[in-house]
Structure 1
């Protein structure tokens, strides 16, 4: 005799969920595998610098695969580099100042300045294969993604509370344990939010990297960037908006499948003593937690991690609490420092000699034009920076403090940040010309499209990282709005705000190459500025002009770094550092 329970059917359905979730995860893994396999086959074909771009909508899926693979590989390289660079800078005080200055210079140099040496080097290293050109494009996208991640990780390590660092020493953590159990968790929130804006920067760089001219050589690769740029130059509005629509779909899917789960996951690393009642949620993360396949990497990592920790526990570093001022570590650091100095001096001397030979061809007229352009672009960059800060600080705090608002606004902001602003430049330029604003002033508005998101996403990350117990204290003591901003909000977001301002400055310098110089259907529109000088020199193959413009940008960035940003970073790690 069979007995039917009223909840038996629902129980079977609930128990069958893990199977369907595992099936979905397996299908996603297979799709990713075949995308990478198909891309690898294309990369190993004979080198073809110029591939005809079809404006057919049926070509968009394959173009989307190529572009997503390029951005994904560039992002992974950026993440590894950012962590290694930030860690090295923090734990080597002798070279820390130099590394931060170099990072500030590199993130301010436009992508087009990296274009000639990277393309020529990669094509020479892998001759006869499409892989060489593809690697060059990936490295160019890398230069548009990596710098804000490096600044975020460096800033997070510098702002770790002192008592937590001392606790790791007292409990005899090895460097490996300290990295995975203290430093990476503390930096997780900033890395996740900067990853969003970093990938958005990759989409911005896509139109510059997939289709470009270098002297008498043209490069044109299949992808969404070249598709949109080709459509914009030919005036095919239907194809242009079709490409933008595909980018929006990819960004929305990435937000729901990747960034939203990572934001919810990273929320557990918030440094607080009272758990917040308002937590972010992600249906995708909940489904993945029920999947047995998604748990396998964590189980494998645990099996690898535990034996490593047991072996490290028997080392001298984990058995003896080393003093902070250890003479042996100082001597070792001094040897490494001087070895690095010698290597840098030798490399620098060779580079200076090569640069002097190349700059001998620059005329006084070219130099005067570059100096005037440097002043004009410098003023535009700082104007864009101030305008961006005016609205992004209050908006970012509001989003970071309100999870309901964040669930609505964050995907919209990510879509707006990820859609290549350069795709709208032809339309915006025509509008500016019709209203009579001119490109000189209008280029500031165009720079905002590539600048404001760095500040916004960093402010959101800073607001979300403020402990909930501190927020409760301000409510209990009846702080006014002015007191909350001056005593809690601004000090709490200050390290993140400085990181956002520094990276936004670099974003503005990068955006200048398209904001001050543009190809439209009627010809070329440009204004006075270093970005215009670099773009026109790239088209004409005038490498000495590109080099001198890059040197001028570096000098201005170093000056700003020493006078402003370094002092603000020092203030962030001393006065506005969260302590217990």
Structure 2
């Protein structure tokens, strides 16, 4: 792997790069100034998050377009805070699930449930607690909003790291054990670099998916009172509620500018940097490039600043030897796991059973268990929409994702376009959707599938692109030399390469579709509302009326459908990806 064992061969253009570094001190000034300006803006904008707050008095958003730059900065700050928390969560959660078979049996089903819980469900449960942590301050609302955005990002990224760790090439697994790496060294030098490409692309997708729920995250109901934090999502929600197409247009323009800027300044450099983590023997003739990354590489001080971090990581790795080395293979002998499995399974089942009994007792006392009847039936309707969406997205976006990912030049061109499309919140398009539905007579029961797709189909596309980009260049060249084309190339190279990534995209797209149904099955603009038949509309209606028992029942039923679907379909495909579809055996 290019990051694990550094080659003595210089990179193309390394000598020229060294020469340019010595003669361009202005680059150091430019990069340093950009970092300082970014830090200043983050501190300045973040200072507005801590102001006095009284839950009995609603916070409103000023829809003057002049406020949009500040609103955009507040939204971006929440998004990046949630992204940082999601990365830490994904590494910790995915590592635990991949490295422990016992924990895997609990953590992965739990992840299925967590990704099925809608953002509105998390907000309903957590907002009161966050406000209690910061009484009299809007920090409680800010923390609730960041957590809601986190809940739209974290599960997909955790799945990505889990899948990358489970499909770790056998030679890297053996190398780690032969060199007697500690668990930290194995994670830092083997597992994290191996997961870099899927983690970055899934992070990009999760970031885009979080934009989809920005309005729900920034407009929060507390004790029956609507509270709106400054942000693009709450601005758009207020403009849509007012039926003001002009202000909706300003919000759309702001979103496009923000997404394009974030892609240029953040995601494009990351995807270009991730090229170094490809598991290949020969270097590609064409790689992704980024102007921002080139400027950072040509500056001196980022390398100087990074040396203490690398030294600290090395010291941590050496110190971790006191806890022993990680000499256990990923392929654990089932016979070694039987001794404690029964006790662990009983404990986990007892905990889950206690939670289920508590939930049923609560609902029995409030409404009776008959409350599950309606959401169970409505869930079948939404399930049909989810299945249709995933099948159509697979047929359309897998070939497109492979076509993009197989060419760095095409990936460089398509990335910002796909990022804008994937990041666009569906409710921003409600005025257009409403006009189309009313003009054509199309039922929202069918049109809702298209609105759900806006928040779900991109998981399949992004994961397919990541899987295609990770195909080693030497394998592509070998296929070219052997004249393997058409279906044979797909069967022998492309499908085994992208299938694990596709499964990750499929399972998160399925969960994302259930989540998106809450937004897509109820379309409102001005004073007109179109409501589809489905579980998403049921949960949205219960949330709007503060009917907590019905919210719990709806979320529980949605979680049940997602878990059953994952158990019957996606988990089997995961095992197939591990056992048959892998580039290295």
TM (norm. structure 2) is 0.91
1:21 offset after TM fit, Å?
A: 2.1
Is the contact between residue 159 and residue 504 of structure 2 (CA under 8 Å) also seen in structure 1? yes
Whether 1:385 aligns to 2:393 is no
Query: Among 53, 70, 73, which residue is 1:47 paired with?
Result: 53
1:44 offset after TM fit, Å?
A: 2.5
In structure 1, C-alpha distance between the alignment counterparts of 2:170 and 2:392, rounded to whole Å: 35
1:331 offset after TM fit, Å?
A: 9.4
Matches within 5 A, 1:142-541: 142-213=150-221, 216-312=224-320, 315=322, 317-318=324-325, 334=340, 342=347, 345-346=350-351, 349=354, 352-362=357-367, 367-541=372-546
Q: For residue 5 of structure 1, what is the aligned residue in structure 2?
A: none
Is the contact between residue 77 and residue 142 of structure 1 (CA under 8 Å) also seen in structure 2? yes
In structure 2, C-alpha distance between the alignment counterparts of 1:364 and 1:85, rounded to whole Å: 34
In structure 1, C-alpha distance between the alignment counterparts of 2:148 and 2:444, rounded to whole Å: 26
In structure 2, C-alpha distance between the alignment counterparts of 1:402 and 1:502, rounded to whole Å: 26
In structure 1, C-alpha distance between the alignment counterparts of 2:369 and 2:320, rounded to whole Å: 62
Q: For residue 80 of structure 1, what is the aligned residue in structure 2?
A: 88
Q: For residue 36 of structure 1, what is the aligned residue in structure 2?
A: 42
> What SS class does the counterpart of residue 213 from structure 2 fall into?
helix
1:352 offset after TM fit, Å?
A: 2.9
In structure 1, C-alpha distance between the alignment counterparts of 2:351 and 2:497, rounded to whole Å: 43
In structure 1, C-alpha distance between the alignment counterparts of 2:329 and 2:552, rounded to whole Å: 47
Is the contact between residue 74 and residue 139 of structure 1 (CA under 8 Å) also seen in structure 2? yes
In structure 1, C-alpha distance between the alignment counterparts of 2:328 and 2:206, rounded to whole Å: 38
After alignment, is 20-29 or 79-88 more displaced? 20-29
Is the contact between residue 371 and residue 553 of structure 2 (CA under 8 Å) also seen in structure 1? no
1:104 offset after TM fit, Å?
A: 1.3
1:214 offset after TM fit, Å?
A: 5.7
In structure 2, C-alpha distance between the alignment counterparts of 1:62 and 1:504, rounded to whole Å: 32
Q: 1:90-141, CA deviations, whole angstroms, 9 ceiling, x for partnerless residues? A: 1110121221111112112211111111111111222211111110111011
Is the contact between residue 399 and residue 460 of structure 1 (CA under 8 Å) also seen in structure 2? yes
**1:433–1:454 CA distance, 2 compared to 1 (3 A):** same
Is the contact between residue 102 and residue 344 of structure 2 (CA under 8 Å) also seen in structure 1? no
Whether 1:552 aligns to 2:560 is no
In structure 2, C-alpha distance between the alignment counterparts of 1:435 and 1:238, rounded to whole Å: 24
In structure 1, C-alpha distance between the alignment counterparts of 2:161 and 2:21, rounded to whole Å: 41
In structure 1, C-alpha distance between the alignment counterparts of 2:403 and 2:472, rounded to whole Å: 15
Unmatched segments (≥5 aa) in structure 2: 1-16
Is the contact between residue 451 and residue 508 of structure 1 (CA under 8 Å) also seen in structure 2? yes
Whether 1:26 aligns to 2:32 is yes
After alignment, is 74-83 or 240-249 more displaced? 240-249
In structure 1, C-alpha distance between the alignment counterparts of 2:542 and 2:332, rounded to whole Å: 52
1:544 offset after TM fit, Å?
A: 0.7
After alignment, is 48-57 or 89-98 more displaced? 48-57
In structure 2, C-alpha distance between the alignment counterparts of 1:456 and 1:436, rounded to whole Å: 30
Q: For residue 130 of structure 1, what is the aligned residue in structure 2?
A: 138
In structure 2, C-alpha distance between the alignment counterparts of 1:350 and 1:404, rounded to whole Å: 51
**1:454–1:350 CA distance, 2 compared to 1 (3 A):** closer
In structure 1, C-alpha distance between the alignment counterparts of 2:354 and 2:128, rounded to whole Å: 22
Q: 1:131-165, CA deviations, whole angstroms, 9 ceiling, x for partnerless residues? A: 11110111011111111101100000000012211
> What SS class does the counterpart of residue 519 from structure 1 fall into?
strand
After alignment, is 373-382 or 244-253 more displaced? 244-253
1:347 offset after TM fit, Å?
A: 7.2
After alignment, is 549-558 or 145-154 more displaced? 549-558
Query: Among 95, 99, 107, which residue is 2:107 paired with?
Result: 99
1:240 offset after TM fit, Å?
A: 1.1
1:371 offset after TM fit, Å?
A: 2.5
In structure 1, C-alpha distance between the alignment counterparts of 2:576 and 2:223, rounded to whole Å: 46
In structure 1, C-alpha distance between the alignment counterparts of 2:566 and 2:115, rounded to whole Å: 12
> What SS class does the counterpart of residue 145 from structure 1 fall into?
helix
In structure 1, C-alpha distance between the alignment counterparts of 2:124 and 2:561, rounded to whole Å: 22
Q: 1:397-454, CA deviations, whole angstroms, 9 ceiling, x for partnerless residues? A: 0000112211111110101111212211232122112101111001001111111110
**1:393–1:325 CA distance, 2 compared to 1 (3 A):** closer
In structure 2, C-alpha distance between the alignment counterparts of 1:534 and 1:316, rounded to whole Å: 48
1:353 offset after TM fit, Å?
A: 2.0
In structure 2, C-alpha distance between the alignment counterparts of 1:285 and 1:267, rounded to whole Å: 12
1:58 offset after TM fit, Å?
A: 1.4
1:312 offset after TM fit, Å?
A: 4.6
After alignment, is 17-26 or 459-468 more displaced? 17-26
Q: 1:518-549, CA deviations, whole angstroms, 9 ceiling, x for partnerless residues? A: 33212332111110011110110101111111
Q: 1:356-389, CA deviations, whole angstroms, 9 ceiling, x for partnerless residues? A: 2234433687544322311111101111111111
Q: For residue 8 of structure 1, what is the aligned residue in structure 2?
A: none
Is the contact between residue 82 and residue 153 of structure 1 (CA under 8 Å) also seen in structure 2? yes
Q: Once superposed, what is the RMSD of the aligned Cα atoms?
A: 2.6
Is the contact between residue 375 and residue 538 of structure 2 (CA under 8 Å) also seen in structure 1? yes
**1:505–1:332 CA distance, 2 compared to 1 (3 A):** closer
> What SS class does the counterpart of residue 230 from structure 2 fall into?
coil
